[in-house]
A and B are shown apart, each in its own frame.
Chain A
Amino acid sequence: MQSTKQLRREAMQLFRLCLVEGLLDEGRARKAVKKVLEARRRGAFTVLSYFRRLVRLERSRHAAEVETATTLSAALQASVLANLERLYGPGLNTSFVLNPGLIGGMRIQAGSDVYDGSVRSGLAAVERSF
């Protein structure tokens, strides 16, 4: 019986095979999952659950979320997109979210980097300083 460590290593190998020029190829990922399920090997579910986690982390690494208190104009959205592409390169999956809780300003999360220029974070900083 294979250990969890071994199964994780296999999931990692499978994941690497699904990368094309450093980016995840969704077609390959789907095919890989199908093949593993068809093979009916022991431990397939462990491999696939770890594979799913790797895919989730990879997607979040190449995802950007732009939160604003009010809706952004098309010109401003285009400007934000251009700046993000300049910083992180092409292939960034950007989404725009409306969050009135920010009160004002903008919060951008790209991968694990956060640029927080919202009024909420400013108030939180003031609160911390007290």
Chain B
Amino acid sequence: MADLLQEIEAQIAGAKATATKQNVGVIREVGDGVARVEGLSDAMLNEMLDLGHGIAGLALDLDETEVGVVILGEYTQLEEGGEVRTTGKLLQVPVGKGLLGRVVNMLGEPVDGKGPIKSDVAYPVEKMAPGIIRRRPVSQPVQTGIMAIDSMIPIGRGQRELIIGDRSTGKTTICIDTIINQARLNKAAEAANDKTFRPLYSIYVAIGQKQSSIARTIAVLEEAGAMPYTIIVASPAADSATNQYLAPFAGAAMGEWFMDNGMDALIVFDDLSKHAVAYRQVSLVLKRPSGREAYPGDVFYLHSRLLERAARVGEKYGNGSLTALPIVETQAGDVSAYIPTNVISITDGQIYLETDLFYQGVRPAISVGLSVSRVGSEAQLKAMKQVAGQVKGDLAQFRELAAFAQFGSELDAKTQAKIDGGKRIVEIFKQPQYSPIPVEVQVAVIWAVQNGYVDDVPTNRVKEFQNKLTEYLNTRKAELLQKIDDEKGLSPALVAELKAVADEFKQTWK
């Protein structure tokens, strides 16, 4: 017994209380979501700081005498003289499949009232984009389900395609349609137990939007059954500018997890104009020098480093991809403004939506002349490439001729036929919102248009013809659609079959 007591006493005597070293600073001033802190000599750039009261901050400015900290959360409890501590951690968010079906804020915390997020992995919000060696060219398509896009401006997995246009021209709708179509394809592949299919998960980042708009988007996605494959990162207009500035980076981190783990993801930034405004606000309160339109000098780098994180990586690195669909809102159709030109130059193409077309009833209001996809055609389905190769040129020619036809001069038969053909294609591409069309149906319909099956159909009945043809294909010729889907290309045999089906349908059409 005595030995034991001696042993315990010796252990107590030998035990040393450990005092961990912490780096602290003192708040000099606080306001507008930003604090300036003296001290903090060891703070790193983008390091999470503990401001006390459970409030976190992010070190954004490391000056000679102080640190500029943006406050993540409620800052009214903070006061001058308060203690700030470094944490040694960079800002990070939870990632993984546990986030699918959830609505989270910029810190990855749930805001949908469905309980805690199940995730044991976290990714830093700011991360270097994959380098040249890790990347490989875009080769697989993202089927948006929007006929005009899939045929003329195809998007590939790993591409960055800008959606640009004035307010209320259907920018968000295009992205929501794309998300819905991915969910439809994912579900179909799961039901068919298709092991070769690579599901595409979606991330929708809402920046500075009205809460009501975000709620509406969530309701649409839930109704379409797309939420189980979607993560929503919400940073509404009521959020602080800091949260709005960081939200797309948090969303990109969540997308990168899918890419790093050999999966495919799609991220929608809705929208980067509001993101630039939020960043301008943060920069101005941090007293950074301002440049054109009061945006800080690094606003280009802000968007380039964000969009560069979208990539298709090589097989050695998991073969995953992250496709980005950034949205930019223009004022009165001015694509030469500061932020639109910046983002246009960073992305691999843009889909330009026109107000005039929208009010003429051409929806989606895609301007064929100004829209382009720089890399997507490499990824386009072979069958679609075969049937839609000419469409873009035909439509561009139609727009030019239609402008001349407005003068009322008499037109020769050939020109008139071109204009009529163009009008029919425009009718075919009209598509209601939230109803994506499967790619095999798109191929069959465009094939029918290109081969003169709608030439004798009056323009005002083209849509009706298309709907009936689609119905006919879906109900009676499902095996033909399946063949197009399986073969991916149009073989002579398949073309003959398509011709027979189109002839058969044409006989019944009145």
Contact = CB atoms under 8 A, between A and B. Distances in A.
Contact of A112 (B18, B19, B39): B39
A113 B42 CA distance: 9
Given A117-B18, A117-B19, A112 B25 contact: yes
A109 B26 CA distance: 13
Contacts of B24: 109, 112-114
Contact of A54 (B21, B25, B41, B65): B65
B482 interface: no
Contacts of A61: 41
Contacts of B41: 61, 111-113
A116 B22 contact: yes
B17 A117 contact: yes
Interface string B10-50: 00000001111111110000000000001111100000000
A110 B65 CA distance: 16
A12 B41 CA distance: 18
A115 interface: yes
B23 A114 contact: yes
Contacts of A116: 19-20, 22
A106 B18 CA distance: 11
Contact of A113 (B17, B23, B38): B23
Given A57-B38, A117-B17, A112 B23 contact: yes
Contact of B22 (A54, A105, A113): A113
Given A53-B65, A57-B38, A57-B65, A114 B25 contact: no
B40 A112 contact: yes
Contacts of B38: 57
A99 to B, nearest CB: 15
A111 B41 CA distance: 8
B22 to A, nearest CB: 5
A128 B65 CA distance: 31
Interface residues of B, number: 16
Nearest to B41: A112
A114 B17 contact: no
Contacts of A106: 19
Interface in A17-57: 53-54, 57
Contacts of B39: 60, 111-112
Contact of B21 (A57, A60, A113): A113
Contacts of B42: 112-113
Nearest to B289: A5
A57 B39 CA distance: 8
A106 B64 CA distance: 30
Contacts of A53: 65
B216 to A, nearest CB: 40
Interface in A80-130: 105-106, 109, 111-117
A40 B242 CA distance: 43
Contacts of B18: 117
A61 B42 CA distance: 12
B21 A115 contact: yes
A115 B24 CA distance: 10
A115 B21 CA distance: 5
A114 B23 CA distance: 6
A54 B38 CA distance: 11
Contacts of B23: 112-114
25 contacts: A53-B65, A54-B65, A57-B65, A105-B17, A109-B24, A112-B23, A112-B25, A112-B39, A112-B42, A113-B21, A113-B23, A113-B24, A113-B41, A113-B42, A114-B22, A114-B23, A115-B19, A115-B20, A115-B21, A115-B22, A116-B19, A116-B20, A116-B22, A117-B18, A117-B19
Given A105-B19, A114-B22, 15 more contacts: A57-B38, A57-B65, A61-B41, A112-B25, A112-B39, A112-B41, A112-B42, A113-B21, A113-B24, A114-B23, A115-B20, A115-B21, A116-B20, A116-B22, A117-B17
- Top 4 A-B residue pairs of the complex, sorted by shortest distance between their CB atoms: A117-B19, A112-B39, A115-B19, A112-B41
